[in-house]
Amino acid sequence: MKIFKTISSIRSYLQELRNGKSIGFVPTMGALHQGHISLVHRANLENDIVVCSIFVNPIQFNKKEDLAKYPRTIEKDIIKLDEIECDVLFAPDVDEMYPEPVFDKYDFGHLEKVMEGQHRPGHFNGVAVVVKKLFDVIEPHKAYFGLKDYQQLKIIEKMVSSLSLDMQIVSCPTLREKDGLAMSSRNVRLSKYERSIAPAIFRVLNSLKEKINQITPAEAENWAIKQLNKFVEMKVEYFSIVGADDLLSVKSWDDRPHIVACTAINLGKVRLIDNIILF
Ligand code: PAF
C-alpha cells in the first residue's frame, strides 16, 4: 500500500495511476474496525483502485474533549489496510488539510437541523467541508459510507446531488457485534459494564418493528425512550422516528414510504448513535 501525507503527492500519483481505471474511496477517521474493513472490501469488489483516507477532522467536533479523546491508532490501521489490499492511503495532518481558516458554509436545510445537527452544532458543516475537499483531491468514481451514520449519509448524498458531483455514493450496511451493538470506534471506550448493557440500544430499535401500526410513531418514540431510560447509565439525547429521505418527523406510519428510527445515547462518557430502517 502506498501512503501519502500531502495533497500534491497523492494527486500526482493518482493522476498517473488513474488512466481509465475506476477509483473507489473510503473516507475514515481511523481507529478502524470491521465496519470500515467491510467498506474497503466492497470498494475492492467494485473498483480497480481503492483509496482510503484517515484524518481526524477537527472541524466536525463541536466539543474539544471529544476531539482529544477520539482514538488514534494509525500504526494498527496501516497494518489492517495493508492486509485487506487497500492500494492507497491518504493520511494528511491538519495543516495540510486546512492551511487557512475555513469559511465554507453549506446549507442542508432541514436535514442538518435535526438529531445530530441539533445536538452537535456545526458538525455537518465540518463533515461536508472535509468530504468535499477529500473528493476534490481523490476524484473517486464511487465513495463508500456506512448506514450507521444515517444522517451523515443523507447530507453527503445531498451535497453530491446539489453540487452535481460526477460520482456515486454507495451506502453500506451497519456491521454489528454478535450481541447487536453497532460497530464503532468509540466502543473501545466503554467500561465492561457499559459494554454489557450497550446492546439494549439495538434491541430496542429492533423491537420497534413490532410497534408499527400498533401505536403511533410518537408513542413508539416514548416507549423506546422509556426502555432505554431503565438503565440509569444511559442518557437518551434524542430518539426520532422520521422519513427515511427527508428526516421529517412522521405523525402516522403511512406518512412516508420509508421510515427510519435514529437515536443518540450517552452511555457513561461515551456517545453512541444507531438507527434502524423500519421499512
Ligand atoms: O464518518 C466518518 O468517519 C467521518 O465523519 C468522515 C466521513 C470520514 C468525515 O470526517
Is 116's C-beta closer than 6 angstroms to any atom of ligand 1?
no
Give kind and range of the element (H or E) at residue 178: none
Examine the domain organization and report whether 163 and 191 are in the same domain: no
Q: What is the mean pLDDT of the chain?
A: 97
Give the predicted TM-score (pTM) of the model: 0.97
Which mutation among 33, 37, 127 tests ligand 1's pocket best, with the greatest number of atoms within 8 A of CB?
A: 127
Instruction: Give the mean pLDDT of 103-118.
Output: 97
Instruction: Give the mean pLDDT of 44-54.
Output: 98
Instruction: Give the mean pLDDT of 182-211.
Output: 97
Write out the three cell numbers for 133.
475537499
Q: By alpha-carbon position, which residue is closest to atom 1 of ligand 1?
A: 28
Examine the domain organization and report whether 39 and 102 are in the same domain: yes
Active site residue 36: yes
From 172, 205, 239, the end of a domain falls on 172
Structural domain range at position 225: 185-272
Q: By alpha-carbon position, which residue is closest to atom 9 of ligand 1?
A: 127
From 119, 148, 172, the end of a domain falls on 172
How many helices, marked H, and strands, marked E, lie in the chain? 11, 9
* 262-274 residue pLDDT tens: 999 999 999 999 9
Number of domains in the chain: 2
Write out the three cell numbers for 217.
410513531
Read off the DSSP letter of residue 250: -
Q: By alpha-carbon position, which residue is closest to atom 3 of ligand 1?
A: 28
What SS3 class is residue 227?
Answer: helix
CA atoms within 13 A on the CB side of 133: 22
Q: Which residues pair with 174 in a beta bridge?
A: none
Examine the domain organization and report whether 149 and 194 are in the same domain: no
Examine the domain organization and report whether 137 and 196 are in the same domain: no
Examine the domain organization and report whether 29 and 159 are in the same domain: yes
Q: What is the CATH number of the domain that holds 238?
A: 3.30.1300.10
Exposed, middle or buried: residue 149 (CB in 10 Å: 0-12, 13-18, 19+)? buried
Read off the DSSP letter of residue 211: G
Tell me the torsion sign for CA atoms 199, 202, 205, 208. negative
